Amino acid sequence: MKDSPIYEDVSHLLKRSSVIFLVVEILFIFVAFYYWKIQILDYRKYWALSEANRTREAVLPAPRAVLMDRSGSVVLANSVASFKASIIRENSKNFDESCRKISRLLGLDEAVIKQRVDKYKSLPLFKPIVVKDNLTLEEVSRIEGRKMELPELVIETEPKRFYPFTTLAAHVIGCVQELTTDELRTTFKDRKLGDMAGKTGVESSYESRLAGVDGKIIEVVDSLGRKRDELDRIEPQQSPKLTLTLDYDIQAKAEELLTGKEGAIVVLEAKTGGVLALASFPTYDPNKFVNRFTPEEWMALANNPDNPLLNRAIQGQYSPGSIFKLAMASGALDSGAIVDQTTFFCGGSIQIYGRSFRCWFEPGHGPLNLYEALQKSCNIYFYNLGRRMNIDTIARYAEELGLGKRTGIDIPGEKEGLVPSTEWKKKTQKAAWYPGETISVAIGQGPLQVTPLQVAAMTALIANRGARVCPHILREGQGPTGNVKIAPAIFEKVIEGMWRSANMGGTGQGARVDKFDVCSKTGSTQIIGRETAERLGTQKKTHSWFTGFAPRNNPQVVVTVLVEFGGLGGVTAAPMAGQIFQLYKNKFYDRQSSSPGN
């Protein structure tokens, strides 16, 4: 046929094929780009993953530095070898099934295991996550016996912090705990998930000196995560031991005296501020914090009504009661409000500003000078001082003696306390200060708040005739830190009254120790006053205070005792302090006195 074309028109096929070739080219470019990204751009990531298939890097935690008492012979905290069980998610074919098996094997709740793993889900799958620590040898044996069945469960070793005397000096030494994610983002950016760090006490304040430097080990593992060879090892470095000012015998005695009570005892070296004992009761065992808490365990401890975590020596804030008469006497003498022989009459009560104020001794003490007023702790005498001195003058001298502000001790958590003034009341209550309020402050009541450590530091200042010391726990701490503006002669007069309190039948006679010249002051702080107790038909409740030092000349030791709801200071706190003074005298003072050349 003439009209038939010789060649068929294939233009539409060419168009289609060009589209197909374009698609293939695009796919080829995409595949090439993908391979370039894997091999060039992300090579480090995939190299690390491939290496992890045959090698594993494990951290070798450094043991924390040993803590010693002042003698250098008593270990207060060290590290012991411990085993922990960890799960490697990469080696688990069925995570839920793994959790069920591990739960039965280790006696753990399955939900606790999953909660623990979920906490660290951001870690790479090949990183081990601790599910149980402090394993017994029996648990280690059970895990080792089922290695083939549970390749995802491995045993790791770590140095565990150990406190051999359990509760002894717990509030001073402190405890270590696992770091939270928030802490890792802020304070401990150079640490990793699962690390332990000091949270309270010396463990916290000297963390950088205690932690040491971790080591590491690089090992070859098989497809089941089992170790086959070791490629490299860097040993951990333990930090040098730290020696504290604490004396084991005095600390143990202080805690023994507080057993069954609520309160605190502070014992200082008078001239240096070194803390020989800092006891707070009720207390706790810091070993419990080393093992990883469940939320329920933590809440049970934190909500304990006895509040064992509170360090009453530095965090408890109390009205000082008659202890404050030491500050009143110093301020009144220095300001010229009285002289040492100024006399006031105590008839058991007094009318001031239209209100009746009573002395603790209802029959009254009769006429007294300052020395006798301190000896007998007469309230009427100091009510009269309060009438002669305004609140701002009292506040100025109280603050000069270190009350109402932190002492600067080298453990965290210290509270400031409170010394009231006209400015304070105007700022906090938007009200004026009334002269009648000063009368209560004059005997250490009202809004006045101090810590036992502040009282001990003030007592050391008086003992040193005006030289300040900063309480410290580390043995290499400091001595005197300067002098107050009050003349030493003023403190000599206050000390005379304190000496009479312990040695001439005063309220502090319970602390008297033969041939040790104890100087003392007692106090009783009303928690439920006389009128309230009568209205409620119950007994008047008071905290029991004592503070003092010895010997009078060349003072060496300061003792401060607080017993919550302990009653009169001379009845409860003073005899307890007397036992501490006696122990110090036997252990240190007599030995110095009998040494050659003395």
Per-residue pLDDT reduced to its tens digit, 390-410: 999 999 999 999 999 999 999
Indicate whether 528 pLDDT > 80. no
Known catalytic residues?
A: 322
Name the percent of the chain lying above pLDDT 90: 60
Percent of the chain with pLDDT over 70: 90
Q: Which pLDDT band holds residue 434 (cuts at 50, 70, 90)?
A: very high
Kindly report the backbone phi and psi dihedral angles of residue 342, in degrees, each rounded to the nearest multiple of 5, phi listed first. -60, 130
What pairs with residue 345 in β-bridges?
Answer: 367
Instruction: For residues 518 and 579, give the distance between their C-alpha atoms in angstroms, rounded to a whole number.
Output: 12
Give the whole-angstrom CA distance, residue 271 versus residue 550: 11
Tell me, yes or no, whether 236 and 322 share the same domain: no
Please report, for the domain that includes residue 140, its CATH number: 3.90.1310.10
Which pLDDT value is given to residue 361?
Answer: 94
pLDDT in tens, 232-290: 889 889 999 999 999 999 999 999 999 999 999 999 999 999 999 999 999 999 998 88
- In this prediction, residues 199-227 reach a mean pLDDT of 84
Q: Give yes or no for a contact between 150 and 102, defined as CB atoms under 8 angstroms apart.
A: yes
pLDDT at residue 59, as a whole number: 80
**CA gap 143, 72 in Å, rounded:** 40
- Whole-number pLDDT of residue 134: 83
pTM reported for the whole predicted model = 0.85
Residues 162 and 253 both lie in one domain: no
Q: Does residue 408 belong to any structural domain of this protein?
A: yes
- Which CATH number covers residue 397? 3.40.710.10
Ranked by mean pLDDT, the top range of 102-111, 112-121, 178-187, 504-513 is 504-513
Is beta strand 196-198 parallel, antiparallel or unpaired with respect to 176-178?
antiparallel
Average pLDDT over residues 425-452: 96
Residue 394 lies in a domain: yes
- Same-domain status, 213 and 282: no
The tens digit of pLDDT for each residue in 139-154 reads: 888 888 888 888 888 8
Tens digits of residue pLDDT in 309-338: 999 999 999 999 999 999 999 999 999 999
Both 210 and 284 in one domain: the answer is no
Average pLDDT (345-370) is: 95
- Is residue 538 predicted with pLDDT exceeding 50? no
In this structure, what token pair is assigned to residue 569? 């200071």
Q: Is 230 in the same domain as 332?
A: no
Identify whether the C-beta of residue 250 lies closer than 8 Å to the C-beta of residue 583.
yes
In a shared domain, residues 280 and 419 = yes
The per-residue pLDDT for 118 is 86
With contact defined as beta carbons under 8 Å apart, do 544 and 321 qualify?
A: no
Distance set, CA 595 to CA 438, 535, 590, 591 (Å)? 50, 60, 9, 6
**Residue 345 located in a structural domain:** yes
Q: Hey, how many other C-beta atoms are within 10 angstroms of the C-beta on 386? A: 24
Containing domain of residue 185, as a range? 56-243
Cα separation of 335 and 393, whole Å? 8
**pLDDT-derived band of residue 597, with 50, 70 and 90 as boundaries?**
very low
d(CA 423, CA 9): 105
| CA distance readout (Å), 196 to 112, 123, 358, 484, 594 | 20, 17, 55, 42, 47
Structure tokens at 524: 């009783």
pLDDT band at 125 (very low <50, low <70, confident <90, very high): confident
Has residue 44 been placed in a domain?
no
Say if residue 237 is in the same domain as residue 252. no
What is the pLDDT at residue 469?
Answer: 95
Q: Are strands 519-528 and 541-550 parallel, antiparallel or unpaired?
A: antiparallel
Which own/partner contact pairs does 72-75 have at CB distance under 8 Å and 24+ positions apart?
Answer: 72/243, 74/248, 75/164
pLDDT tens digits, 6-39: 556 666 666 777 778 888 888 888 888 777 777 7
DSSP-assigned letters across all residues of 565-580: T---TTTTHHHHHHHH
Residues 316 and 463 in one domain: yes
Within this chain, do residues 189 and 259 fall inside the same structural domain, yes or no? no
Helix 452-463 with 325-335: angle, nearest 10 deg:
40
| 8 Å CB contact between 558 and 519 | no
Section 539-550 average pLDDT? 88
Strand segments (E) across 148-213: 153-162, 176-178, 196-198
pLDDT at 294 over 70: no
| Residue 432 included in any domain | yes
What was the pLDDT predicted at 534? 47
**Tally of domains in the chain:** 2
Same domain, 65 and 99: yes
201 domain residue, yes or no? yes
Look at residue 49 and tell me if it is in a domain.
Answer: no
CB 552 within 8 A of CB 519: yes
Q: What's residue 179's pLDDT?
A: 83
| Alpha-carbon gap, residue 504 to 596, rounded angstroms | 33
Same domain? 264 vs 220: no
- Based on the fold, state whether residues 581 and 459 are members of the same structural domain: yes
Domain-embedded: residue 14: no
- pLDDT the model gives residue 535: 47
Q: Which pLDDT value is given to residue 292?
A: 66
Q: What is the pLDDT of residue 533?
A: 41
**Per-residue pLDDT at 540 exceeds 70:** no
Q: pLDDT of 58-86, one tens digit each?
A: 788 899 999 999 999 999 999 998 888 88
Q: pLDDT per residue over 88-111, tens digit each? A: 888 888 888 888 988 888 888 888
